[in-house]
């Protein structure tokens, strides 16, 4: 049985990385008395898929994972059982049953929306800098020695208030936009912000 | 003092710059967060190494629960930040804080530091300094928390005497409550609440050693002449605390959100050991043996797995095979957990075929290897250390282990035992090769052997406390022999660096003069001494030089038979005479069998006769005490 969970990851959990999150779910389900399906082989691994790795330091309202259970279960009370077994900062938002043969979760992600809080409010120039980014044809940059164009990865970029902006970036395996890079383009130091992923848009 | 909010704001700006920020933010499952303002007694427990190592420490977990069970007290945790984080904290003016509520450590009433081994000493100093608390005990006032230390290293507390207000000698489960109550009385009473009075009152609690209330004089040759209390009402000898009946084991283990060294739930099945291996510090200082019942262990294991979700369960003791109902225990555990994708570990098994059956009943997945600890490879050596097995026992057992499907065996040996010769060391390599060769006969070329060869350090309160530790030159020569003889790629040899052994030796065998050396070494940058790559050997040598002391005096000197040791005023309840007799027996190559069969009157029973009388029967492995209780004046805890 394949189950899709949507959850928020906040507080101290912002500093917990992708691999650790995997392990965490294994323990959460064991605490909740839910039996995961395991892979075959010498080192059996629980079958869990995480939609898109969340960078360290980001919080999120919209993480998605799929997990396979070793038995068919009744979902009433499931969300509550899980919620009681998670560490502080994690909130279950939605539970769905997914067709076993549906494509791997990672391949479904299309784009992601972020909300950026500026720890020091920006100057009056910020809206203009935002428009100039959006108006450019191309934004050539480098990532790990490879040049790429940031512009097509930005789907939208909005000024909300002097200490808040939002953006929607491509999040396909072949083309992923990173909020830090957009911030850098805007001249905002990453350490001066709080970033929250607010939505993962699936195909 | 910074508020928790201010600390968190500062942290937000640095955490993404350090390795593994998850170490510094708390928020784990199963932590206890109490209301700071309404809870009067606040204790911070510190394991002075990084989070990854400290968070799974069982001793602190027991105390954390003990304190948090009280309505009137709270316990929180802190660990030593890694060097990158320390730099940012010092730069940003962030004091060491607790992971539960982000209060600075200096805001607590008591800081309890765990010092199970000596290579944590400089880290303990660093922790105090990072907390903004004077490192020297004499510079602290009532404004500062009480600095309390516990753990096996306290069996010789003297090297740390200058930095610690009070040591808990022995087991802490009950003593911690006495300390909290006493400190509370002095914090709450206005004028009488001087630090001196508080320390005096603490010294009257059984098992609490307050070093500032003792003076030491030395002989001309540098050895200790006398250790005497400064007042008549301070005990001459501090005897360890011991809980007559083991309290229910902790089950709500803190589940780290990040990968750490041990990710497991543990149940201590028994405390103490009756084997009497002469090199073993733990075996000598944790007597008497007290066992938990099978029912209690199984219930705790179930609850611990349920409440943590850990993938590993470890049944802890110094010698699992000696647990009375071990077969019943592993059968039940195996049946209950065998199919739950759990690893179950059962350390310290005897070298005999029964051990293999035990592992099979646990449904061991054979992926972690099978561990045995012969410790020595010749009959002469085995008689000296009082751990007697024959080569035949070992080979029969290892052959059987390979035959039943384990591909890797781990064998632990020790070099540097008293009177060890190069032949005794060569015998380790020869025996290892034989183990592998025999394994190949039954299971083919895939079999592997991991050989862990550590170096013996003679510890206080053991029969070997009189003997010298090998010099770094001797150790290196012996290790060369092993490396030269063991070239098979299927034998993986690991060893302890000679310099690490040297450090451990003078720290554990030192007197009060070593405190100055520790302070100087720390000032000059020594910390994380338990980490090979961090250990700064030249800094330590320079510190000895600066204080005009010779490290060899502490590590390589055969001590006089009538010598007063720096730790003689601390008692593990095993008589010095008994240890001496055992030392003499070792010189004769005489074995002292397991004292479950026959009591050798080591000193435990006279010291704890009342406790034994009140807890008769199977729980303890010492004989029952039949004599009527003597009329004792009731010890009143101040
Ligand atoms: S009192 Fe006797 S039985 Fe008990 S630990 Fe000592 S020697 Fe062993």
Dihedral angle, C-alpha B551, B553, B557, B560, nearest 10 °: -150
Query: How many structural domains is chain B composed of?
Result: 1
Give the phi and the psi of residue B270 in degrees, each rounded to 5.
-160, 150
pLDDT above 90 covers a percentage of chain B that reads 90
Sign for the CA dihedral angle at A9, A12, A16, A22 comes to negative
Q: Which CATH number do you get for residue A140?
A: 3.30.70.1560
**Quick one: how far is CA A108 from the chain centroid?**
13
For residues A92 and A160, membership in a common domain is answered with no
Ligand 1 centroid to Cα of residue B623, in Å, is 8
| Residue B300 binned pLDDT confidence (cut-offs 50, 70, 90) | very high
Q: What angle do CA B109, B110, B111 make, to 5 degrees?
A: 130
Contact (CB, 8 A) for A39 and A84: no
Q: Count CB neighbours of B219 within 10 A.
A: 12
pLDDT above 70 covers a percentage of chain B that reads 97
Q: What 8-state DSSP symbol labels residue B548?
A: T
Q: What 8-state DSSP symbol labels residue B182?
A: H
pLDDT digits (tens, 9 = 90+) for B361-419: 887 766 678 999 999 999 999 999 999 999 999 999 999 999 999 999 999 999 999 99
Q: Count CB neighbours of A110 within 10 A.
A: 12
- What is the pLDDT averaged over residues B476-501? 96
For residues A12 and A98, membership in a common domain is answered with yes
- Judge: B22–A17 Cβ closer than 8 Å, yes or no: yes
For residue B191, the model assigns a pLDDT of: 53
pLDDT digits (tens, 9 = 90+) for B6-51: 999 999 989 999 999 999 999 999 999 999 999 999 999 999 999 9
Dihedral angle, C-alpha B23, B25, B27, B29, nearest 10 °: 0
- The closest residue, in CA terms, to atom 2 on ligand 1 is B599
Ligand 1 centroid to Cα of residue B149, in Å, is 27
The CA distance from B291 to B92, in Å, is 49
For residues A91 and A147, membership in a common domain is answered with no
Is beta strand B214-218 parallel, antiparallel or unpaired with respect to B224-229? antiparallel
Nearest atom in ligand 1 to the alpha carbon of residue B287 is: 5
For residues A50 and A122, membership in a common domain is answered with no
pLDDT over 60 (residue A70):
yes
Contact (CB, 8 A) for A22 and A48: yes
Q: Measure Cα distances from B292 to B159, B268, B429 in Å.
A: 35, 8, 39
Ligand 1 centroid to Cα of residue B288, in Å, is 7
Give the contacts of B339 (CB within 8 A, at least 6 positions apart). B363
Entry pTM:
0.95
- What is the pLDDT averaged over residues B150-164? 98
For residues A55 and A143, membership in a common domain is answered with no
- The closest residue, in CA terms, to atom 6 on ligand 1 is B602
For residues A132 and A172, membership in a common domain is answered with yes
The CA distance from B199 to B79, in Å, is 26
Select from B595, B615, B621, B625 the residue to mutate for testing ligand 1; criterion: most ligand atoms less than 8 Å from CB.
B595
The CA distance from B340 to B295, in Å, is 20
Q: Which two tokens stand for residue B109?
A: 């009433």
For residues A159 and A76, membership in a common domain is answered with no
- What is the pLDDT averaged over residues B334-360? 87
Helix, coil or strand: residue B79: strand
Q: Which two tokens stand for residue B638?
A: 């101040």
Q: Which two tokens stand for residue B397?
A: 């057992």
For residue B632, the model assigns a pLDDT of: 53
For residues A7 and A93, membership in a common domain is answered with yes
pLDDT digits (tens, 9 = 90+) for A127-168: 999 999 999 999 999 988 889 999 999 999 999 999 999 999
For residues A74 and A165, membership in a common domain is answered with no
Task: Give contacts of B26 with chain A, Cβ < 8 Å.
Answer: 12
- Judge: B25–A15 Cβ closer than 8 Å, yes or no: yes
For residue B633, the model assigns a pLDDT of: 52
- Judge: A27–B308 Cβ closer than 8 Å, yes or no: yes
Domain assignment of residue B352, yes or no: no
State chain B's mean pLDDT as an integer: 94
Ligand 1 centroid to Cα of residue B557, in Å, is 30
Task: Give contacts of B309 with chain A, Cβ < 8 Å.
Answer: 26-31, 85
Beta bridge mates, B316 = B268
Dihedral angle, C-alpha B115, B509, B159, B132, nearest 10 °: -40
Query: How many structural domains is chain A composed of?
Result: 2
- CA B68 to chain A, closest CA, distance in angstroms equals 19
Ligand 1 centroid to Cα of residue B241, in Å, is 16
Q: What 8-state DSSP symbol labels residue B253?
A: -
The CA distance from B153 to B211, in Å, is 15
- The question of ipTM being above 0.85 is answered as yes
> What DSSP line would sit under chain A, residue for residue?
-EEEEEEEE-GGGGG--HHHHHHHHHHHHHHHTPPBPB--SSS--B-EEESSPPPTT-EEEEEEEEEEBSS----TTHHHHHHHHSPTTEEEEEEEEE-TTSPPGGGGEEEEEEEEEESS---TTHHHHHHHHHH-S--EEEETTEEEESGGGEEEEEEEETTEEEEEEEEETTEE--HHHHHHHHT--GGGEEEEEEEEEE-
pLDDT digits (tens, 9 = 90+) for B169-222: 999 999 999 999 999 999 876 656 789 999 999 999 999 999 999 999 999 999
For residue B567, the model assigns a pLDDT of: 98
Q: Which CATH number do you get for residue A87?
A: 3.30.70.580
- Judge: A13–B307 Cβ closer than 8 Å, yes or no: no
Domain assignment of residue B220, yes or no: yes
For residues A82 and A130, membership in a common domain is answered with no
Work out the angle between the directed axes of helices A126-135 and A179-186 (0-180°, nearest 10): 110
Domain assignment of residue B67, yes or no: yes
Query: Which segment of A30-44, B276-290, B433-447, B572-586 scores lowest on mean pLDDT?
Result: A30-44
- What is the pLDDT averaged over residues B473-482? 98
Residue corresponding to tokens 């039940």: B332
- What is the pLDDT averaged over residues B423-446? 97
Nearest atom in ligand 1 to the alpha carbon of residue B288 is: 5
For residue A37, the model assigns a pLDDT of: 93
- Judge: A85–B308 Cβ closer than 8 Å, yes or no: no
For residue B369, the model assigns a pLDDT of: 85
| Best residue in B20, B22, B304 for a mutation probing chain A (most A CBs within 10 Å) | B22
Q: Which two tokens stand for residue B627?
A: 């004599």
**Quick one: how far is CA A174 from the chain centroid?**
16
Q: Examine the fold and report which residue of A55, A72, A102 is the final residue of a domain before the chain moves on.
A: A102
The CA distance from B251 to B266, in Å, is 8
pLDDT digits (tens, 9 = 90+) for B534-555: 568 899 999 999 999 999 999 9
Q: b vs e for A156-181, b when ≥16 Cβ sit within 10 Å of the residue's Cβ?
A: ebeeeeeeebbbbbbbeeeebbbbbb
Interface residue ranges in chain A relative to chain B, Cβ cutoff 8 Å: 11-17, 19-20, 23-24, 26-31, 33, 38, 42-44, 46, 56-57, 85-89, 119, 190-191, 194
Looking at beta carbons, which pairs linking B1-5 to residues 24 or more positions away fall under 8 Å?
B1/B95, B1/B104, B1/B106, B1/B107, B2/B93, B2/B94, B2/B95, B2/B104, B4/B97, B4/B101, B4/B102, B4/B103, B5/B102
Structural domain harbouring B97: 4-239
Radius of gyration, alpha carbons of chain A: 19
For residues A93 and A52, membership in a common domain is answered with yes
Structural domain harbouring A49: 2-102
Q: What angle do CA A121, A125, A126 make, to 5 degrees?
A: 55
Q: Examine the fold and report which residue of A48, A74, A102 is the final residue of a domain before the chain moves on.
A: A102
- What is the pLDDT averaged over residues B450-457? 97
Q: Examine the fold and report which residue of A77, A102, A127 is the final residue of a domain before the chain moves on.
A: A102
Select from B277, B582, B600 the residue to mutate for testing ligand 1; criterion: most ligand atoms less than 8 Å from CB.
B600
CB pairs under 8 A between A and B: 75
- Judge: A23–B25 Cβ closer than 8 Å, yes or no: no
Give the phi and the psi of residue B167 in degrees, each rounded to 5.
-110, 140
pLDDT digits (tens, 9 = 90+) for B89-122: 999 999 999 999 999 999 999 999 999 999 999 9
Q: Which residue of B has its CA nearest to A33?
A: B306
Q: Which CATH number do you get for residue B179?
A: 3.40.50.280
Contact (CB, 8 A) for B36 and B75: no
Helix, coil or strand: residue B93: coil
Domain assignment of residue B554, yes or no: no
The CA distance from B240 to B307, in Å, is 33
Ligand 1 centroid to Cα of residue B576, in Å, is 14
Residue corresponding to tokens 């038995």: A71
Beta bridge mates, A63 = A7
| Residue B249 binned pLDDT confidence (cut-offs 50, 70, 90) | very high
Contact (CB, 8 A) for A100 and A2: yes
For residue A173, the model assigns a pLDDT of: 82
**Which residues, judged by CB distance below 6 Å to any ligand atom, belong to the binding site of ligand 1?**
B 274, 287-288, 595, 599-602, 604-605, 622
Sign for the CA dihedral angle at B545, B551, B554, B560 comes to negative
Task: Give contacts of B311 with chain A, Cβ < 8 Å.
Answer: 26-27, 30
pLDDT digits (tens, 9 = 90+) for B277-296: 999 999 999 999 999 999 99
- Judge: A29–B309 Cβ closer than 8 Å, yes or no: yes
Helix, coil or strand: residue B427: helix
pLDDT over 90 (residue A43):
no
| Residue B638 binned pLDDT confidence (cut-offs 50, 70, 90) | very low
Ligand 1 centroid to Cα of residue B274, in Å, is 7
For residue B574, the model assigns a pLDDT of: 97
Pick from B182, B181, B156: which is nearest to B73 by CA?
B181
- CA A154 to chain B, closest CA, distance in angstroms equals 24
Domain assignment of residue B161, yes or no: yes
- Omega prior to B589 cis, within 30 of 0: no
Contact (CB, 8 A) for A158 and A116: no
Q: Measure Cα distances from B47 to B51, B74, B127 in Å.
A: 8, 17, 9
Give the contacts of B91 (CB within 8 A, at least 6 positions apart). none
- Judge: A16–B308 Cβ closer than 8 Å, yes or no: no
pLDDT digits (tens, 9 = 90+) for A182-202: 999 999 998 889 999 999 999
Domain assignment of residue B357, yes or no: no
The closest CB to that of B309, out of A19, A27, A88, belongs to A27
For residue B570, the model assigns a pLDDT of: 98
Domain assignment of residue B184, yes or no: yes
Domain assignment of residue B328, yes or no: no
For residues A159 and A87, membership in a common domain is answered with no
Contact (CB, 8 A) for B371 and B410: yes
- CA B353 to chain A, closest CA, distance in angstroms equals 26
Residue corresponding to tokens 């299309």: A110
Q: Which residue of A has its CA nearest to B368?
A: A43
């Amino acid at each position: 049985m394949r189950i899709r969970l949507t959850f928020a990851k906040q507080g101290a959990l912002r500093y917990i990385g992708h691999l650790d999150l995997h392990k965490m779910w294994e323990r959460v389900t064991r605490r909740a008395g839910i039996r995961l399906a395991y892979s075959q082989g010498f080192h059996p691994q629980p079958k869990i898929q995480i939609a898109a790795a969340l960078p360290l330091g980001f919080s999120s309202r919209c993480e998605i994972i799929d997990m396979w259970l070793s038995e068919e279960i009744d979902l009433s009370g499931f969300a509550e059982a899980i919620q009681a077994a998670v560490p502080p900062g994690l909130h279950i938002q939605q539970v769905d049953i997914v067709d076993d043969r549906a494509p791997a979760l990672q391949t479904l992600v299309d784009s992601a929306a972020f909300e950026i809080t500026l720890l020091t409010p920006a100057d009056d120039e910020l809206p203009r800098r935002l428009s100039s980014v959006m108006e450019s044809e191309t934004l050539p940059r480098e990532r790990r020695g490879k040049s790429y164009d940031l512009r097509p990865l930005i789907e939208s970029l909005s000024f909300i208030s002097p200490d808040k902006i939002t953006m929607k970036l491509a999040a396909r395996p072949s083309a992923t936009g990173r909020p830090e890079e957009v911030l850098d383009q805007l001249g905002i130091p990453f350490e001066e912000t709080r970033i929250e992923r607010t939505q993962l848009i699936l195909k | 003092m910074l508020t928790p909010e201010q600390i968190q704001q500062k942290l937000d700006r640095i955490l993404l710059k350090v390795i593994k920020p998850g170490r510094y933010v708390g928020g784990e499952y199963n932590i206890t967060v109490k209301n700071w303002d309404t809870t009067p007694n606040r204790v911070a427990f510190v394991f002075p190494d990084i989070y990854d190592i400290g968070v799974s420490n069982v001793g602190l977990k027991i105390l954390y629960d003990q304190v948090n069970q009280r309505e009137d007290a709270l316990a929180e945790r802190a660990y030593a930040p890694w060097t990158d984080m320390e730099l940012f904290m010092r730069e940003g003016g962030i004091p060491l804080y607790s992971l539960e509520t982000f209060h600075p450590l200096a805001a607590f009433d008591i800081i309890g530091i765990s010092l199970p081994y000596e290579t944590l000493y400089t880290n303990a100093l660093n922790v105090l300094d990072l907390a903004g608390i004077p490192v020297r005990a004499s510079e602290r006032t009532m404004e500062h928390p009480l600095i309390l230390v516990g753990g096996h290293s306290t069996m010789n507390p003297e090297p740390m005497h200058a930095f610690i207000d009070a040591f808990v000698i022995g087991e802490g489960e009950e003593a911690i409550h006495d300390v909290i109550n006493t400190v509370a009385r002095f914090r709450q009473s206005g004028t009488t609440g001087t630090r001196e009075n508080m320390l005096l009152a603490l010294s009257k609690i059984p098992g609490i050693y307050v070093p500032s209330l003792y003076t030491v004089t030395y002989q001309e040759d540098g050895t200790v002449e006398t250790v005497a209390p400064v007042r008549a009402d301070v005990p001459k000898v501090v005897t360890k605390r011991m809980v007559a009946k083991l309290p229910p084991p902790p089950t709500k283990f803190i589940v780290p959100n990040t990968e750490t060294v041990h990710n497991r739930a543990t149940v201590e099945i028994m405390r103490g050991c009756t084997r009497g291996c002469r090199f073993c510090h733990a075996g000598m200082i944790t007597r008497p043996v007290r066992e938990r019942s099978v029912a209690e262990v199984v219930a705790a294991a179930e609850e611990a797995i349920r409440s943590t979700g850990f993938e590993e369960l470890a049944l802890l003791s110094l010698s699992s095979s000696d647990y009375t109902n071990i077969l019943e225990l592993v059968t039940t555990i195996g049946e209950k957990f065998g199919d739950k994708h759990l690893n179950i570990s059962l350390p310290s098994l005897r070298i005999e075929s029964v051990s293999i059956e035990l592992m099979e009943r646990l449904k061991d997945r054979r992926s972690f290897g099978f561990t045995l600890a012969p410790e020595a490879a010749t009959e002469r050596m085995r008689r000296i250390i009082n751990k007697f097995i024959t080569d035949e026992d070992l080979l029969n057992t290892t052959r059987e282990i390979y035959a039943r499907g384990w591909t890797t065996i781990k064998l632990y040996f020790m070099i540097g035992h008293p009177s060890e010769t190069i032949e005794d060391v060569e015998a380790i390599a020869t025996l290892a090769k034989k183990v592998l060769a025999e394994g190949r006969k039954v299971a083919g070329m895939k079999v592997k052997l991991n050989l862990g060869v550590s170096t013996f350090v003679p510890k206080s309160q053991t029969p070997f406390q009189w003997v010298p530790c090998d010099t770094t030159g001797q150790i290196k020569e012996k290790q060369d022999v092993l490396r030269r003889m063991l070239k098979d790629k299927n034998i993986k040899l690991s060893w302890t660096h000679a310099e690490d052994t040297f450090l451990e030796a003078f720290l554990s065998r030192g007197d009060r003069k070593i405190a100055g050396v520790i302070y100087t070494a720390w000032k000059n940058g020594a910390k994380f001494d338990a980490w090979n790559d961090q250990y700064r050997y030249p800094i330590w040598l320079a510190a000895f030089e600066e204080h005009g002391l010779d490290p060899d005096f502490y590590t390589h000197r055969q001590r006089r038979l009538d010598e007063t040791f720096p730790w003689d005023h601390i008692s593990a309840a095993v008589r010095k005479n008994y240890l001496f007799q055992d030392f003499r027996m070792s010189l004769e190559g005489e074995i002292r069998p397991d004292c479950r069969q026959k009591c050798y009157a080591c000193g435990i029973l006279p010291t704890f006769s009342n406790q034994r009388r009140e807890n008769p029967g199977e729980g303890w492995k010492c004989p029952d005490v039949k004599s009527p209780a003597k009329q004792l004046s009731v010890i009143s805890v101040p």
